[in-house]
Amino acid sequence: MPTIAAISTPNAVGGISVIRISGEKSIGVAEKIFRSTSGKKISEMQGYTCAHGAVVDGEDTHVDEVILSVFKAPKSYTGEDVVEISCHGGVYITKKILRLIFENGAKPAEAGEFTKRAFLNGKLSLTQAEAVIDLISAGGKSELKYAIALKDGAIFRRIDKIKRRIISVLGDLAAWADFPEDDIPEVDPENLLETLKGIYESLVETNKTYDYGRIIREGINTVISGKPNVGKSTLMNCLSGFERSIVTDVAGTTRDIIEETVQLGEIKLRLSDTAGIRKTDDIVEGIGVNLAFKRIDEADLVLALFDNSSEITDEDLKLIEKLSNRKSIAVINKIDEKSALDRNLINENFKYIVEISAKNNEGIEGLINAVNEMFLHEDIEAEKGIIANERQKNCITKAEELVLDSINALEQGELLDAITIILDEAAAYLLELTGERVSETVLNEVFSRFCIGK
């Protein structure tokens, strides 16, 4: 494999920049452009040590004062010989050094190529490599906690355990089928059924963690809903901290759906403020209302706004009806005004009820607490491993369906050969998930999500 190099820090002015070189020739390449202050050669340096010195160009002209670190294979991020040069953080200097590295034999690294090599050299499992992306982009504490757990290999271990159970069943089936005369105990369909059901449950449970992971990573897809003029735009502005949607006294002016992402403590909300729920002949407003209902169907959370200063209306009733069986919080707005709202209906229909004055920024803390309580205290521990992305989700869903198929086949009295074929395929999907048996296309897809230098 060619020796590769790239700038691993952002392409911007900063205190220092780091250029990483990885591959068989990395020490040789670096040797050509580096003069250490002590006179020691890079090839004489131990792994995990660094040297002070200067980068020089072809005429031995000083380019920059740098610190050079050496990591020797296999004890490096990529598993290959790696040299990292920390230079002054100017864009010009950094690019000049990178150019010198290329001129002396390294090739430009592709997006994610360092991490891809780490995977190919067995330094990381595929799920751990994917977690590196999440670590880089973690925006909150819980997001970080979950990314770290993934990086530690939690999901790999979780899937590996299930996979081993399937493979053990496959082993029993094969032994029995291939060596019937050898006194191998007969596979008991009852026992087999129990085992398969246990495997299926583990798969279902693991698959469920995807939604939780998605919520932590991408934020809760939240819709602010309620009749016109109840204060949706005001709440949205209040949560996002600045004016985005148009706030007006004329009912029905928020026609478009406006989106905003806000970090509320531990949790990220992806907010959309929808047009009022209202029976209307106005076509434009009508489109907004349909869209609002569609958004409710797709949302992880609905903040249902009610106006403390007015009585319950048909529109409120429609919203309450629409929200049965959906994760929602009743938000009673305008508590700064005299109450005219009959709370009974709200009390009966909502588990979470908070009172706010969006206009005066009051009660927002209570709303944030309710959201955190709803979403952070699920029985899902990041440490046990969480399905992190669509790729992993697809693999586990396929495996889950196949194990269910095998259960059905067994119950219908199919031959054990048929069960073997189905389970074999299920195990293959789990091997694809962990990256132990994965196609080049899938690998390229995973690593294309990285930036250059990672």
Which stretches of the chain bind ligand GDP, using CB under 6 A?
Answer: 226, 228-234, 247-249, 254, 276, 333-334, 336-337, 357-359
Shortest distance, position 300 Cβ to ligand GDP, whole Å: 21
* Contacts for 296 with CB less than 8 Å, ≥ 6 apart: 223, 225, 302, 322, 323, 326
Let me know if 162 is exposed, middle or buried by CB neighbors in 10 A (0-12, 13-18, 19+): buried
Return d(Cα 353, Cα 347) in angstroms, integer.
8
256 closest CA partner among 298, 289, 223? 289
Nearest residue (CB) to ligand GDP, 339 versus 448: 339
For the chain, helix, strand, coil in percent to 5 are 50, 20, 35
Nearest residue (CB) to ligand GDP, 207 versus 310: 310
Shortest distance, position 339 Cβ to ligand GDP, whole Å: 12
Query: Residue written as tokens 């002070």?
Result: 52
Nearest residue (CB) to ligand GDP, 203 versus 301: 301
- 149: its two tokens: 């757990």
Instruction: Extract long-range pairs of 345-352: CB within 8 Å, 24+ residues apart.
Output: 345/312, 345/316, 345/317, 345/320, 346/306, 346/320, 349/320, 349/323, 349/324, 350/304, 352/328
Nearest residue (CB) to ligand GDP, 332 versus 382: 332
Shortest distance, position 389 Cβ to ligand GDP, whole Å: 35
Nearest residue (CB) to ligand GDP, 106 versus 235: 235
Return d(Cα 204, Cα 396) in angstroms, integer.
9
Nearest residue (CB) to ligand GDP, 5 versus 331: 331
Shortest distance, position 287 Cβ to ligand GDP, whole Å: 16
Residue 320 identity: I
Shortest distance, position 223 Cβ to ligand GDP, whole Å: 13
Return d(Cα 340, Cα 447) in angstroms, integer.
58
Return d(Cα 377, Cα 379) in angstroms, integer.
6
- 109: its two tokens: 């690294």
Shortest distance, position 349 Cβ to ligand GDP, whole Å: 20
Q: Is the dihedral of CA 354, 360, 365, 371 positive or negative?
A: positive
Return d(Cα 202, Cα 221) in angstroms, integer.
27
Shortest distance, position 205 Cβ to ligand GDP, whole Å: 40
* Contacts for 267 with CB less than 8 Å, ≥ 6 apart: 140, 142, 215, 216, 219, 220, 371, 372, 375, 376
Shortest distance, position 407 Cβ to ligand GDP, whole Å: 50
Let me know if 359 is exposed, middle or buried by CB neighbors in 10 A (0-12, 13-18, 19+): middle
How many other C-beta atoms lie within 10 A of the C-beta of residue 372?
Answer: 15
CB 335 within 8 A of CB 363: yes
Nearest residue (CB) to ligand GDP, 333 versus 389: 333
CB 17 within 8 A of CB 87: yes
Return d(Cα 287, Cα 298) in angstroms, integer.
17
Shortest distance, position 342 Cβ to ligand GDP, whole Å: 19
Nearest residue (CB) to ligand GDP, 16 versus 284: 284
Shortest distance, position 438 Cβ to ligand GDP, whole Å: 48
CB 220 within 8 A of CB 150: no
Shortest distance, position 261 Cβ to ligand GDP, whole Å: 19
DSSP state of 229: T
Shortest distance, position 333 Cβ to ligand GDP, whole Å: 5
